[in-house]
Amino acid sequence: MIQDPKRVELVPMRAVSMALMLASLCWSAPALAATALAPATMARIGSIDPRFQSYNIEMVEVTGGRFWRPYAAARDNPRSLTDGVPYGMDPSLYADRKPIDLTHPRLRRLAAALGPAYVRVSGTWANTTYFDDAGENPTSPPAGFKSVLTREQWARVVAFAGAVDAALVTSFAIGAGTRDPGGVWTPTQASRLIAYTHAIGGHIAAAEFMNEPDLAAMGGAPDGYAAAGFGRDIAVFRAFLKQASPHTILLGPGSVGEGASSGDLGSEALLAASGPVFDVVSYHHYGALSQRCTGRVPSPAARDEGALSEDWLSGADRAQVYYAELRDRFEPGRPLWITETADAACGGNPWASTFLDSFRYLDQLGRMARRQVQVVFHNTLAASDYGLLDETDFAPRPNYWAALLWRRLMGPVVLDPGPVSDPRLHLYAHCLRGRPGGVALLAITLDRAISLPLDLPVAASRYGLAADHLTDTSVLMNGRELRLGADDELPALDGEATAPGRLDLAPASITFLAIADAGNPTCR
């Protein structure tokens, strides 16, 4: 309505100020710029191994023994200061465990859903495990060893790998019991394990000589073991492996220092001493020691914010750069594998079993695929707090559901998703598994308060992961809790149809998008 100017009255200045203040309260910040997606033209970066997403079963799980005690478990009484505990470690950090039941239907069903994969049976305890190929079942290990692996236990490993479409990876005993009077490693034990594997119809797809040679003393290597000894042993091992199992991929060095190790057992020294012998350069990556080993318990705020920080997540990139540079110097052209990784060493932090760690888990897979790391082994499948499955009943944890969605959607061809408008959004793109021309996207939002928008040009199926609280041990997909059905049936994992247009991604959430009709020629 147009007012009669003769009837307009002057408004007092105080009223004007009040009006301006009210207007400022109603003002909102400009809408965030949406990240524009162009799935039809996303360029190929490279490709990863079809078994890219893999996992570990520790050798001590197979034999039984003392492994990292879960935080929720009661302390037991350690049998002695050295019985079954790595050298120099506090026995109270460990708990006795029976051998894992590799025939358990739930374990096999859930592992098979992640196939094809590699399963690595190794770890610190493998360095001093005696293989009882004669079937004598000794009540204690022979001199120079700390545990016993029976034929029946190894047969179950081989059968498990075959049942769940997991190619077998391992390492061998290297302690005092494997060495001649001069301290040189001998292949007697390794030869027996490989021969028995072949005799029961199995195959070792890849092998490291030993677990974490840069932590040699902890792993049971001889006193004073250094890079020169490793180089000498690798020469013996490589010649043996080429003869005993010529199709087995030789991995190495399998160290975990990531630049922190130095001197005679640093990764650089190990590679220099061994020479260009490895088919694949392998390494382990843990972003930190867990609070189990450090004794430092972070505040909830520091924990939650830190777990979503770029500094924490980018640690995987820094480790990859370090090992890639060593690879380029000593083993040019060889692939990179990460044969152990989790949120933290020493069994993981308490939140490794919660939704909070799924951000690290999936972000690391996305980063490493983009950097062309060919295989990533999560530690572990079902032991301690960082297991994908609970070790007591094999119930899926949030990281298992994250792994399952990655396996269902993210194919081995890696794409460039294009520019991202906000650094709080991490975006990864692959060809959609099983759909020619299709594109799969993984979008991770790291801000806990702000939704971040995507501009979606075509229809998609959305798989949104979230939790009521970041440290929940359950996870919601599109608002429904993921859980096993009757007889341990996996849920359908059907995506939610999403129309083209602006898509707001919830704060602190993980979203997969399957764009079946992207029409990307790279993905045909």
The one-digit pLDDT tens for each residue of the chain (524 residues) are 333 333 333 333 334 344 434 333 333 445 688 999 999 999 999 999 999 999 999 999 999 998 888 888 756 655 544 566 766 667 778 888 999 999 999 999 999 999 999 999 999 999 999 999 988 888 889 999 999 999 999 999 999 999 999 999 999 999 999 999 999 999 999 999 999 999 999 999 999 999 999 999 888 999 999 999 999 999 999 999 999 999 999 999 999 976 554 568 889 999 999 999 999 999 999 999 999 989 899 999 889 989 999 999 999 999 999 999 999 999 999 999 999 999 999 999 999 999 999 999 999 999 999 999 999 999 999 999 999 999 999 999 999 999 999 999 999 999 999 999 999 999 999 999 999 999 999 999 999 999 999 999 999 999 999 999 999 999 999 999 999 999 999 999 999 999 999 999 999 999 999 999 999 999 99
Distance CA 511, CA 363 (A): 12
8 is a domain residue = no
Q: Where are the alpha helices (DSSP H) in 223-314?
A: 227-244, 267-274, 291-294, 300-307, 310-313
11 is a domain residue = no
Distance CA 364, CA 316 (A): 6
Question: Cα separations (Å) of 320 from 290, 316, 334, 427, 428?
Answer: 21, 6, 14, 19, 17
The gap between the terminal CA atoms of the chain, to the nearest Å, is 62
Residues 350 and 382 in one domain: yes
1 is a domain residue = no
Question: Cα separations (Å) of 158 from 108, 188, 192, 212?
Answer: 13, 20, 15, 23
375 is a domain residue = yes
Residues 392 and 431 in one domain: no
Dihedral (CA of 505, 508, 513, 518) sign: positive
Nearest to 91 by CA among 293, 259, 232: 293
Question: Cα separations (Å) of 385 from 352, 381, 400, 496?
Answer: 6, 10, 13, 31
Contacts of 469 (CB under 8 A, 6+ apart): none
Residues 406 and 425 in one domain: no
Nearest to 172 by CA among 205, 229, 125: 125
CATH number for the domain spanning 511: value is: 2.60.40
pLDDT of residue 491: 96
DSSP state of 213: G
Beta strands in 336-447 (DSSP E): 336-342, 375-378, 410-415, 425-432, 439-445
DSSP state of 99: P
Residues 384 and 435 in one domain: no
Q: Are strands 460-466 and 476-477 parallel, antiparallel or unpaired?
A: antiparallel
Residues 471 and 342 in one domain: no
∠ at Cα 237 (234, 238), nearest 5°?
Answer: 85
19 is a domain residue = no
Q: Are strands 480-481 and 44-47 parallel, antiparallel or unpaired?
A: unpaired
Q: Are 88 and 217 within 8 A, CB to CB?
A: yes
Beta strands in 16-173 (DSSP E): 35-36, 44-47, 53-58, 65-68, 94-97, 117-122, 129-132, 147-150, 166-170
162 is a domain residue = yes
pTM of the model: 0.91
- SS3 assignment, position 451: coil
Q: What is the CA radius of gyration of the chain?
A: 26
Nearest to 90 by CA among 105, 101, 103, 75: 75
Residues 429 and 391 in one domain: no
Q: Which of 410, 429, 463 is the last residue of a domain?
A: 410
Distance CA 267, CA 287 (A): 17
pLDDT of residue 1: 34
Domain that holds residue 196: 53-410
Q: Are 56 and 122 within 8 A, CB to CB?
A: yes
Residues 344 and 470 in one domain: no
Q: Which of 360, 387, 410 is the last residue of a domain?
A: 410
pLDDT of residue 32: 82
Q: Which of 361, 380, 410 is the last residue of a domain?
A: 410
Distance CA 65, CA 128 (A): 12
| Total number of domains constituting the chain | 2
pLDDT of residue 15: 40
Residues 485 and 363 in one domain: no
User: Structure tokens of 93?
Assistant: 């950090």
110 is a domain residue = yes
Burial 365-398 (b: 16+ CB within 10 A, else e): bbbbbbbebbbbbbbbbbbbbbbbbbbeebbbbb
3-state helix, strand, coil in the chain (%, to 5): 30, 25, 45
Distance CA 47, CA 463 (A): 23
Nearest to 447 by CA among 495, 369, 393, 509: 509
Nearest to 348 by CA among 391, 407, 318: 391
